[in-house]
Amino acid sequence: MPSLGADMEAGTLVEWLVEPGQSVARGDIVAVVETQKGAIDIEVFASGKVVELLVEPGTEVPVGSVLAHLEGDETETPSDESRPDESASPAPWDEARPERPGPDAPASEPPTIRSRSDGSPPATPVPAVARGSDPTPARVSPRARRLADQFGVDLSQVSGSGPAGAITGEDVERASQPRPDGMRQAIAAAMTRANREIPHYQLAHRIDLHATERWLAAQNQTRTTAERLLPIVPVLRAIVRALSDAPTLNGTYADGRLSPATQVDLGVAVSLRGGGLVAPVIRNAGSLDMSGLMSGLRDLVARARSGELRSSEMGGGSITVTNLGERGVETVFGVIYPPQVALVGCGKPMKMPWVVDGRVEPRTVLSVSLCADHRVSDGHAGARFLANVDQLLQCPEAL
């Protein structure tokens, strides 16, 4: 059972998508696990043949438990360096109005099917239920279909309680209701830990977006509707670029020391329609241009809100960004999610008086905040980072 966040202690196996004797390739989805953050697709990170399924669907098992035995080449198992750290997010990401879908993120989560090497006796194989080619169950009542369209419920994620597992209207209504209790408890536990263990310092900086607005308007005139960039995208690009000169803000802290990240794995906080928060990760965000960041953001937000995130996308962020701009908040100060060491917050771009060359002009201004870990950085480093973000946004064409 993989760990899908600092707050996860156990998960419930919902469904096997493979069966004994079946060959699998690295990256294949082999199971669905229910956590406090919802149903997550679990990937396999070694190629080979499934020997045994050790856990019955419906069973809750602790993180780290062996779910199955795989016979194959163990050299494909990722190294410790590629394994993501536990992370989640304390605040929602609301800037995107996503379209579906985008490319799969690269795999980097610990193996969830492990090759047997301990000589343990074989377990009785668990009959597997394979997912059909049609993601929507065949037996769905007409009322359930109408309600699913009305509430935006993905029927493939709904368990039916009717005859022969048919999905009823009541099943859809239950699925459409907010389910924040367990997730809120998990978030509260992680935030309590963060506030107790991490000595936060907080900074905020207002940035003139005049140059960025003009550049963005010109860019979007040449793009189709589906390709247009949201205002947050150049800000993300500037944050990622500025992190190249701020190694003490991009990494994780464990065992009394900082482990600087070798790339920017950007967690983006997403508020879920049914309630709760997750922070899927855009891997190696520094390698993406504006279009790549827009595509990655759109894809992650869409799949987070439809319950289609993969295990490899649910952890391992080296820094998290949260945006409350659409909620009308001018400045947001978040809480760092361990083991990360920093969180960047973006507020609402606001028109306000701004002094330009001795004149007062109306300008769009964005407040960007930083919450960072005083054990590994200080206000000087944080202030320099925010100043660099500002400087980069004054020349958006160079981003």
Any idea what the CATH number is for the domain that residue 160 is in? 4.10.320
Considering the domain architecture, whether residues 170 and 235 belong to the same structural domain is answered as no
Whether 373 and 288 map to the same domain: the answer is yes
Are 290 and 163 part of one and the same domain?
no
Query: Is residue 167 located within the same domain as residue 288?
Result: no
- What is the structure's pLDDT at 384? 98
DSSP labels, 238-281: HHHHHHTT-GGGSEEEETTEEEE-SS--EEE-EE-TTS-EE--E
Q: Give the phi and the psi of residue 340 in degrees, each rounded to 5.
A: -65, 165
Amino acid at residue number 74? E
- Residue identified by tokens 């193996």 is 111
Pairing of strands 270-271, 257-260: unpaired
Q: What's the token pair of residue 305?
A: 């809100």
169 and 203 housed in the same domain: no
**Average confidence (pLDDT) per 10 residues, the chain, 399 residues:** 72 87 88 77 86 89 87 51 39 36 39 36 35 49 77 81 77 69 74 90 97 96 92 97 97 95 95 79 96 94 83 88 89 92 96 95 97 97 98 96
pLDDT of amino acid 191: 83
Which residue is it, tokens 């194989």? 125
Q: 279: left (phi > 0), else alpha (psi -120 to 50), else beta? A: beta
User: Are 217 and 324 part of one and the same domain?
Assistant: yes
Q: CA 180, CA 184: separation in Å to the nearest integer?
A: 6
Q: Supply φ then ψ for residue 140, to 5 degrees.
A: -135, 125
Tokens of 179: 């389910």
Q: Are 85 and 320 in contact (CB under 8 A)?
A: no
DSSP secondary structure string for all residues of 212-223 = HHHHHHHHHHTS
Residue 121 forms part of a structural domain: no
Q: Number of folded domains in the chain?
A: 2
Q: What is the CATH number of the domain that holds 266?
A: 3.30.559.10
114 secondary structure, DSSP code:
B
Backbone φ and ψ for 186, nearest 5 degrees, come out as -65, -45
What's residue 179's pLDDT? 55
Whether the Cβ atoms of residue 320 and residue 344 lie closer than 8 Å to each other: yes
Domain that holds residue 255: 199-398
The token duo for 369 is: 């905040």
Domain assignment of residue 248, yes or no: yes
285/388 same-domain check? yes
Q: What is the pLDDT of residue 132?
A: 37
Burial class (CB in 10 A: 0-12, 13-18, 19+), 38: buried
| 339 prior amide bond cis, ω within 30 | yes
Q: 234 and 304: one domain?
A: yes
